[in-house]
């Protein structure tokens, strides 16, 4: 194979991909969890049609692209590309991404907004650019670059779903529906992960699972004056504090749910120590207030806490007015959305069952308490990497980023990976992404670091060729 032309990749990104990606950012394609009326709204369909039109224009011999729609489920873009050689026809590579988005999460900085694409220097701001709209473009531009260089690849299936931000609630049905078309992949490349720095390829070796739900507490059917009810009725806020204490030690942050705690594998502990030496601190990705005491000041322990240890977050509360609107009204009910990140190897269903039991058994003051399990997604612990994959990623990283690759776990969840590793335990998995320092996926001022997307595109092309060569 000739050298991948990074100049041509850069041009394709600037002239062809970025303008369409900016149109995609303008579409409020919220994931179905955040838009119950997504089908009527049409935004996910609009994003899917935009992606379809762009993908159909790719210069790839034999490419077939379509939108697959199952009744009542969000669409999936599926593309199939024949292998470059007949002796690679039995090998399948899956390239994965998603097109659905998180909600707005206001406020954004002046001049920026979730549905307002803004290109400032190397950063393309707007919801969904880096998580995960870029993946479609990286996948197809990598394939085009590989073809121009005369490289090889097995049969390729590109899969872009539209429910990932809702724990991929619709994906399982599509994997069943598309089983014969997907086949049995021996390489899966997921382009929806993080990178700890922008100076190299970061291989993701683990993803935490997520167990969540909505906790509702009711102590009275009315909302009386706080001067009359307080001290007589138990506040829903007090009951919430007691219930949360059943699943988290508020002083240490330790999760008390037995099934949510696992022994961290020795190789992941060693990996975190190596990765921590490549950047000063995971906390440097954020903007803590001056003097804030971190959960740990050891960079390696920070990585382990953020990738292998469980952690609870309250991500939404109903029935609490804003400070400006807060009058002297007793809090007689609360509705709270919980998200518990769990280790890659934990049993998510067991965690949800234990959460349900702890939160609803013998509620404080005999209040009415209901817990409705919601978002849940399995974690993923990477199987051992084949020597060819380790070498290919490290060499590609050195070529296009100027540094060898590195690896570590990630605290987020990609349910697709848990689903795939159960179905195809013998496959190799390349999990990479562009969500680096300050990129703020899911939050205000999310951005795509465009140079990283370009370089990662070249790296994906190199890995696809290396995979083909490993089979010949």
Strand partners, 311: 341
pLDDT > 90? residue 241: yes
Q: What mean pLDDT is reported for the chain?
A: 96
User: Which pLDDT band, with edges at 50, 70 and 90, does 455 fall under?
Assistant: very high
Identify the pLDDT of residue 9.
Answer: 98
Torsion angle defined by CA atoms of residues 284, 313, 265 and 390, in that order, rounded to the nearest 10 degrees: -50
Distance (Å, whole) CA 379 – CA 93: 22
Identify the pLDDT of residue 451.
Answer: 98
446 with 125: CB under 8 angstroms? yes
Identify the pLDDT of residue 340.
Answer: 97
List, for residues 101-155, the tens digit of each pLDDT value: 999 999 999 999 999 999 999 999 999 999 999 999 999 999 999 999 999 999 9
Taking alpha carbons only, the member of 345, 378, 357, 354 closest to residue 258 is 354
Cα dihedral sign for 157, 161, 166, 169?
negative
User: Which pLDDT band, with edges at 50, 70 and 90, does 314 fall under?
Assistant: very high
User: Dihedrals φ, ψ of 31, to 5°?
Assistant: -60, 155
Identify the pLDDT of residue 218.
Answer: 98
Boundaries of every domain in the chain? 6-207+379-471, 209-273+301-377
Confidence (pTM): 0.91
pLDDT > 80? residue 281: no
- Of 285 and 450, more confident: 450
Identify the pLDDT of residue 2.
Answer: 85
Identify the pLDDT of residue 150.
Answer: 97
User: Which pLDDT band, with edges at 50, 70 and 90, does 255 fall under?
Assistant: very high
Fold of 6-207+379-471: Aminopeptidase (3.40.630)
Identify the pLDDT of residue 416.
Answer: 85
Distance (Å, whole) CA 20 – CA 137: 9
Identify the pLDDT of residue 1.
Answer: 86
List, for residues 91-103, the tens digit of each pLDDT value: 999 999 999 999 9
List, for residues 327-346, the tens digit of each pLDDT value: 999 999 999 999 999 999 99
DSSP 4-48: P-HHHHHHHIIIIIHHHHHHHHTS--B-GGG-TTHHHH-HHHHHH
Fold of 209-273+301-377: Alpha-Beta Plaits (3.30.70)
47 with 27: CB under 8 angstroms? yes
Q: In what order do the strands lie in the sheet with 333-342?
A: 311-318, 333-342, 209-218, 368-377
pLDDT > 80? residue 280: no
List, for residues 366-419, the tens digit of each pLDDT value: 999 999 999 888 999 999 999 999 999 999 999 999 999 999 999 999 988 988
Identify the pLDDT of residue 205.
Answer: 96
Q: Which residues contact 289 (CB under 8 A, 6 or more apart)?
A: none
Strand partners, 194: 435
Half-sphere exposure of 230 (CA within 13 A, CB side): 9
Once rounded to an integer, what is the mean pLDDT over residues 11-35? 98
**Which of 141-145, 276-280, 319-323, 326-330 shows the lowest mean pLDDT across its residues?**
276-280
Distance (Å, whole) CA 146 – CA 189: 15
Taking alpha carbons only, the member of 414, 454, 377, 349 closest to residue 205 is 414
List, for residues 36-77, the tens digit of each pLDDT value: 999 999 999 999 999 999 999 999 999 999 999 999 999 999
**Helices 266-276 and 299-307 meet at what angle, rounded to 10?**
130
pLDDT > 90? residue 283: no
User: Which pLDDT band, with edges at 50, 70 and 90, does 422 fall under?
Assistant: confident
Once rounded to an integer, what is the mean pLDDT over residues 185-202? 96
**Which residue's entry shows tokens 């959960």?**
295
Identify the pLDDT of residue 459.
Answer: 98
216 with 369: CB under 8 angstroms? yes
373 with 213: CB under 8 angstroms? yes
Quote the Cα angle for 379-381-383, to 5°.
145
């Amino acid at each position: 194979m000739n050298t991948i032309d990074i100049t041509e990749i850069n041009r394709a990104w600037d002239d062809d991909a970025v303008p369409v990606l900016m149109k995609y950012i303008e579409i409020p394609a919220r994931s179905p969890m955040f838009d119950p009326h997504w089908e009527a709204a049409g935004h996910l369909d609009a994003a899917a049609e935009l992606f379809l039109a762009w993908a159909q224009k790719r210069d790839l011999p034999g490419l077939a692209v379509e939108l697959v729609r199952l009744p009542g489920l969000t669409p999936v873009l599926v593309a199939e590309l024949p292998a470059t050689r007949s002796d690679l026809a039995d090998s399948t590579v899956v390239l994965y991404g998603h097109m659905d988005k998180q909600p707005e999460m206001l406020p954004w900085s002046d001049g920026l907004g979730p549905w307002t694409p803004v290109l400032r220097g190397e950063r393309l701001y707007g919801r969904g650019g880096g998580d995960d709209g870029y993946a479609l473009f990286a996948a197809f531009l990598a394939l085009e670059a590989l073809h121009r260089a005369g490289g090889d690849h097995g049969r390729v299936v590109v899969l872009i779903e539209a429910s990932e931000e809702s724990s991929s609630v619709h994906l399982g049905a599509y994997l069943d529906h598309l089983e014969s078309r997907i086949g049995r992949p021996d390489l899966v490349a997921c382009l929806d992960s993080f990178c700890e720095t922008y100076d190299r390829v970061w291989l993701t070796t683990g993803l935490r699972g997520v167990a969540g739900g909505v906790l509702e507490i009711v102590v009275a059917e009315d909302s009386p004056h706080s001067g009359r009810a307080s001290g007589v009725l138990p506040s829903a806020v007090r009951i919430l504090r007691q219930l949360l204490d059943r699943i988290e030690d508020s002083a240490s942050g330790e999760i008390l749910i037995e099934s949510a705690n696992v022994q961290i594998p020795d190789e992941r502990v060693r990996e975190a120590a190596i990765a921590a030496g490549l950047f000063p601190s995971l906390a440097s990705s954020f903007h803590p207030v001056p003097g804030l005491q971190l959960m740990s000041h050891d960079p390696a322990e920070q990585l382990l806490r953020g990738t292998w240890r469980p952690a609870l977050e309250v991500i939404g509360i109903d029935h609490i007015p804003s400070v400006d609107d807060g009058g002297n009204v007793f809090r007689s009910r609360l509705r709270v959305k919980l998200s518990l990140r769990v280790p890659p190897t934990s049993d998510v269903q067991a965690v949800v069952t234990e959460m349900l039991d702890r939160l609803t058994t013998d509620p404080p003051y005999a209040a009415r308490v209901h817990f409705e399990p919601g978002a849940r997604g399995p974690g993923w612990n990477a199987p051992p990497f084949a020597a060819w994959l380790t070498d290919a990623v490290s060499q590609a990283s050195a070529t296009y980023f100027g540094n060898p690759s590195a690896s570590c776990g990630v605290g987020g969840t990609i349910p697709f990976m848990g689903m795939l590793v159960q179905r195809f335990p013998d496959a190799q998995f390349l999990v990479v992404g562009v969500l680096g320092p300050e990129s703020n996926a899911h939050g205000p001022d999310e951005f795509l670091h465009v140079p990283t997307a370009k370089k990662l595109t070249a790296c994906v092309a190199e890995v696809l060729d290396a995979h083909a060569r490993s089979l010949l």
